[in-house]
Structure 1
Amino acid sequence: MKKKVTAVFDIGKTNKKFFLFDEEFQEVYREYVRFDPIEDEDGHPTENLEKLQNWLKDLFHQILEAKEFDVKAINFSSYGASFVHLDENGEALTPLYNYTKPIEKSLIDSFYKKYGPEIGFTRQTGSSREGMLNSGMQLYWLKHTKPEIFKKIKYSLHLPQYLSYIFTGIPLSEYTSIGCHTALWDYYKKDYHQWVYQEDIHKILPPIVSTETSINMNYNGKRIKIGVGIHDSSAALLPYVRSLSEPFILVSTGTWSIALNPFSSSELTTNDVTKNCINYMRINGKQVKASRLFLGNEYKIQVKKLAEMYGVPQDYHKTVKFNEDAYYEINKEFEHLFKWESISNEVPLVATKLPYDTFEDAYHHLMIELVKLQVKSIEMVKKGDIITKLYIDGGFSDNDIYIKLLSHYLRNMELSTTDASLGSALGAAISISDTQLNSKFLKKNYSLKKHVPLIIK
């Protein structure tokens, strides 16, 4: 008897992944691929849309033919801040412009002069000034620098919805993609921002549907439920939202450490936006207050320097465990010693000067400083809300010192770690499922582990 499965394409900038999940949301199949980027008309690297589309279709057809699986549904998770612009025949008019592509400062300045001031605009849209990373800015840029192409656009689809469109031919928009730092949405009005209407951008944005929408289609002779796609960060948050009854904050760690509060009851303040707070969006259109910290990137820079300074192997830091005596000694007369390279320095330092003889002590000092920044980031999104649950996933969830320090500094919160390596793909599968999740879901699927705060003398 064939195993009933939900298929998910999880499209990252580097890895393109395909998963099959059974009815218990256990992974039963996976496939990874990478494509070399191509260049847009300005020589900037971009996604190879044609290769991606061919891979999606070919692989899905193979799975439909497989004797062991019965595919009941398919959905799509992908990075945000990316549009595919379609003409009246449904063909892509432009390359998929990379969100790292620079835009002329004068054009962005003219936008804020017209629709600012900047702080107020950021508070309204939950989107700080990020150039092409604000995908709405891409539409403004196209209209004002490539008007002949803009005139030919029938629909502009966010990348997750384009992946769905490949299979359904139905152009749609959904909340999580609209709400991810696009500068398109007005969180006060709960509608597109006024600038979208003034620039006639709304005419090329397809109808908005719930992220939980699915389309029942006859695909290659088989009845399949096809989802409308979901933004990857919102997808990663969904299993927590669906399975937990109490409010929580999730810190997703990696190159960026992003603290997410899906229960925020307050709009962004001027102080929030000056401290790099933005909004993401839940599948129901509600805001998710998010604080970003370039923690993993800074960590990588500093441990490389420490390894060279103390003459140890580059990956030696992975072996260092929390030492209570080292923590106690460092904290006696604590001062900031590290000059950050990719995080703004609140304490002005000319250079990093360390008084320690061992790598272990220097590393403990580094972790204390980084975790204190992390605590500020968490408190920024928590402000004004009574939340006692804290979940950590990603790269730092198995860093012994990070976890022990965080549980110590945030003793009023119950800290748990999860192994959410499938996070966004699993979220995409759950978003189109009718299955009710309970508190046991995280333990079973995410290796949930609770941590007790340290008792430090």
Structure 2
Amino acid sequence: MTEVTHTGTIVVIDIGKTNAKLVALDAASGMEIETLRRGNAPVASGLYPHCDVDGLWTFILDGLKSLHARHGIGAIAITTHGATAALLAGDALAMPVLDYEHTGPEETAADYDAIRPDFVETLSPRLPAGLNLGAQIFWQATAFPEAFAGVTAIIPYPQYWAFRLTGRIVSERTSLGCHTDLWNPVKACYSSLVDHMNWQDLLPEPGATTDTLSPLRPEIAAATGLPEVTPVSCGIHDSNASLVPYLSHQETPLTVVSSGTWTIAMTLGGTTGRLDPARDSLANVDALGRPVPTARFMGGREYTLIAGANAPQPTSADAIAVIETGIMALPSWVEGTGPFPNGKGGWHGNADALTPSQRAAAASLYLALMTCETLTLAGQGSDIVIEGPLAQNTVYCSTLAALTGVPVRPSRDATGTAKGAAMLLTGLGRGTALPDPVTPFDHPQIGAYARDWRARAR
């Protein structure tokens, strides 16, 4: 594996929990050239709900072929959601790639809790369903012992797609450091759980996140028209990809809020001392292998539950109407996650009186208030950069600026995660200028609204 700087067109395979994309970027400028998209719903049939790797693979191959024909692909980068791994038996899957929202791992929770390492070792909190990768693997080994006996390698999800493209079995730290229970982020090595379960021989020694793999499998080159020598990044956890453009930023602490299905606050240069394992806070590991204090909640999912599908974009006038009526959404709309994991989401006040756009404003205010809570755990930087869909939500960004008192800078780049993944192939030395800040939301009742919300949330 090597670290090389690449030029030309880079295509990023970006597999999120809800959507998958192929993003063609110009390596020199980072500008988007073309993006292909598809939904990414799990498959309900079979042993258990699992990732649709067959559908995604068809999408990837067809997309690589068409993008190469139009733009010429010089390299391929990979980024995916976390809490997911592939269990290989030789060149095939030993069993389906488990959907982390499946509750099967809770069947063996008591036995798993008896052996999982303490938070002080892994900085990984105990999470529900399959959000701890170690709990997933433990359940799969217990529930399907014959299939597990055939496992020859366990690799994180980004590296699974690198394996499909190149045949190389590798691992890397950002995926291992994503609340897996498998990694010690301070010592930068596998945790005691791996030794306890005798999984040492199944988990590859992690390389650098900047490593590239080649050549492509001959059949992949033939199917896509790409040269076999096309470099492929070893892959990165998607939230960490959002951090990559800011790794060389010298003025820290700096908070990056990555948004999508999850809203994840990560503070570069922050301390892990305020992390609380009972409130969905943890240490991620950045592309340089350093622990990054992190706190999160399922913001994208909760926004849809609160505002409804296809909600209109809210305005400041909508937010003012919500604040002045005192109507508020209270946590947590996805139970068991976020800074209020024991809360049962609901409304204070008459939500039926809200128009669709006011309801969207209430959801935006909720997300801003929840983000403030995550910052009490992950630490608040002297600047806050918003990546992903929430960067387009002016009510959210302006409210967050008013409540935190620091510049909130929405990224105008809709492909921030993809750009970060691509930068692993173009070099980490290039700093990215911080986006311009928004004007803070100005309303005399915003502070009282926030205090009331916090009191009710607690």
Q: 2:61 aligns with which of 57, 62, 77?
A: 57
Q: State how 1:25-424 maps to structure 2 within 5 Å.
A: 25-34=30-39, 37-42=42-47, 44-64=48-68, 66=69, 69-88=71-90, 90-103=91-104, 105-115=106-116, 120-121=118-119, 124-217=122-215, 220=221, 221-242=227-248, 245-267=251-273, 269=275, 272-303=276-307, 315=311, 318-322=313-317, 338-340=329-331, 342=333, 344=340, 352-354=348-350, 371-382=368-379, 387-411=381-405, 413-424=406-417
Shift of 1:212: 0.1
Deviations, residues 226-260 of structure 1 (Å, cap 9, x unaligned) = 21111111112212324665431012234432211
- What SS does the corresponding residue of 1:50 show, helix, strand or coil? helix
Question: Does the alignment pair 1:437 with 2:434?
Answer: no
1:37-67 Cα deviation digits (max 9, x unpaired): 534533x432232343344334434555x2x
Q: What TM-score does the superposition give when structure 1 sets the normalisation length?
A: 0.79
Q: Tell me the number of residue pairs that the alignment of Structure 1 and Structure 2 aligns.
A: 423
Partner of 1:224: helix, strand, or coil?
A: coil
Question: Gapped runs of 5+ residues in structure 1?
Answer: 305-312, 443-447
**Is contact 1:123–1:267 with CA below 8 Å preserved after alignment?**
no
Please tell me whether the aligned partners of residues 244 and 438 of structure 1 are also in contact (alpha carbons under 8 angstroms). Answer: no
Mapped to 2, the partners of 1:362 and 1:54 lie a distance apart of: 38
Q: Which runs of 5+ in 2 are unaligned?
A: 1-6, 222-226, 335-339, 445-458
Q: Is the 8 A contact 2:168 2:213 kept in 1?
A: no
Question: Which amino acid in the other structure matches residue 372 of structure 2?
Answer: V
- Mapped to 2, the partners of 1:202 and 1:234 lie a distance apart of 25
Identity value in percent: 22
Alpha-carbon RMSD across the aligned residues, in angstroms, is: 3.6
The verdict on how the C-alpha distance between 1:342 and 1:142 changes in structure 2, with shifts beyond 3 A counting, is same
2:368 maps to a residue whose letter is: V
Kindly state the Cα deviation for residue 277 of structure 1 after the two structures are TM-superposed.
Answer: 0.9
Once the two structures are TM-superposed, the CA of residue 143 in structure 1 deviates from its matched residue by: 2.3
**C-alpha contact (below 8 Å) 1:253/1:296 kept by paired residues:** yes
Stretch deviating more after TM superposition (226-235 or 246-255): 246-255
Aligned to 2:418: 425
Task: Give the C-alpha shift of residue 161 in structure 1.
Answer: 0.4
- TM-score, reference length from structure 2: 0.79
Larger Rg, first or second structure (1 or 2): 1
Q: C-alpha deviations, 1:318-338, integer Å up to 9, x for none? A: 3432589869967xxxx7865
Q: In 2 relative to 1, CA 38–380 (structure 1 residues): closer, same or farther, beyond 3 Å?
A: closer
What's the CA shift string for 1:327-378, capped at 9, x where partnerless? 9967xxxx78655461749999996335998769998777656534432222
Moved more, 238-247 or 94-103: 238-247
Whole-Å separation in 1 of the counterparts to 2:207 and 2:17: 25
Distance 1:248 1:366 in 2: 25
* Contact 1:255/1:294, CA 8 A, preserved across alignment: yes
How far residue 396 of structure 1 moved from its aligned partner, in angstroms, is 3.3
- Cross-structure match for 2:337: none
Matched, 1:449 2:436: yes
State the secondary structure of the residue aligned to 1:56: helix
The Cα of 1:426 is off from its aligned counterpart by 1.5
